[in-house]
Structure 1
Amino acid sequence: MSTEASYFLGAAVVGLGATLFMDLWALFLKRVFSIPSANYCMVGRWLRHMLDGTFMHASIAASSQKRLECTVGWVAHYAIGAVFAVTLVVLVSGGWLMRPTLLPAVLFGVGTVLLPFVIMHPSFGLGIAASRIPNPTQARLRSLMAHTVFGIGLYVCAVGVSYVLRVHA
């Protein structure tokens, strides 16, 4: 396998692992503090409605349910995590994947919060950065924390992948 292909595959694995890391954090918050997790079924509903030409909703929760929306939402959640990690490796170089450092991963993870703030939240009818919900500050902080944990997960998983890449180099 070429070096580029190894980096691409390694980055995708890092993204899947970082997404799992973020989901385990959400599960911890739910079990210990009763903080509800994000509903990825709504992501699936949004994506499934796009096939009908509807990209913006007054309320995604009030929009009609779609077949397989939860499956589509969860698959999209992990696919987005993989794409984010590939993007990080492209931005900082494949060398980072061989010798990962924490700062680029965390900064990138924090930066990824902009996508839900400016694309998903408005499309779901929540306003920019959830400005239309009863407690937008709480939602913003929860999103920021989740994406920070994703960034930490990028680093943790990259450490594991870098070990595998070095052993098989």
Structure 2
Amino acid sequence: MGEFLLNSVLIGIGATAIFDVWGKVVAAVGLPGANWTMGGRWFAYIPRGRLVHDGIANSPSLAGETAVGWVMHYVTGIVFAAALLLIWGVGWADAPTLGPALIVGVTTVLLGWCVMSPAMGGGIAAQKRPDRWTVRAVQLTAHVVFGFGLWLTALALAAL
């Protein structure tokens, strides 16, 4: 169990950090990126009994929402790394292969498209946004990068 938890945390943090570096590249070229303050606002409203918003930016801000967003972003990355290890086994981390990491990376975009976007007022897969196709492309690419991050982080850890 200890090996599973340690690998989940380290691989999840590493992959999420790679995702974030990619996000900086995306932002530098002027494409829409993640806004962890809005994600934090959404997460912070959940224990207050509000899951769905017409537009999360229109909901009143909450103390600490940016910190909540960043923490939940990394917790989510750790959970996705744990899912990879649950599905393919802890042994995957000893000899990581790209396929499982990319499968997990690509499928993780569905959480954003089917849960977070609709609940934050953007519709399924950003359908209500005027730049929906750009947002979808950026999000899908970022989650592919997350998949590569899972693999690259596991490779680095396996080499230690």
Q: Same fold (TM over 0.5)?
A: yes
- 1:17 maps to a residue whose letter is G
What's the TM-score, normalizing by structure 1? 0.91
- 1:57 maps to a residue whose letter is H
Structure 1 outlier segments of 4+, above 2 Å: 34-37
Q: Distance in 1 between matches of 2:122 and 2:44?
A: 18
Aligned pair partner of 1:80 in 52, 68, 76: 76
Q: Distance in 1 between matches of 2:136 and 2:24?
A: 18
Q: Look up the match of 1:167.
A: none
Structure 2 spans left out of the alignment, 5+ residues: none
Within 5 Å, give how 1:1-169 maps onto structure 2: 4-31=1-28, 33-164=29-160
Q: Distance in 2 between matches of 1:117 and 1:29?
A: 19
Offset of residue 160 of structure 1? 1.2
Deviation digits for residues 9-63 of structure 1 (CA, Å, limit 9, x no counterpart): 11211010000001001112222x1224210111110111112211100000110
Structure 1 spans left out of the alignment, 5+ residues: 165-169
Which stretch shifts more, 50-59 or 149-158? Answer: 50-59
- 2:77 maps to a residue whose letter is G
- 2:17 maps to a residue whose letter is L
RMSD between aligned alpha carbons?
Answer: 1.0
Check conservation: 1:55, 1:123, Cα contact below 8 A. yes
Offset of residue 157 of structure 1? 0.1
What's the TM-score, normalizing by structure 2? 0.96
User: Among the aligned pairs, what percent are the same residue?
Assistant: 39
Q: Which has the larger radius of gyration?
A: 1
Offset of residue 130 of structure 1? 0.7
Offset of residue 125 of structure 1? 0.6
Check conservation: 2:56, 2:120, Cα contact below 8 A. yes
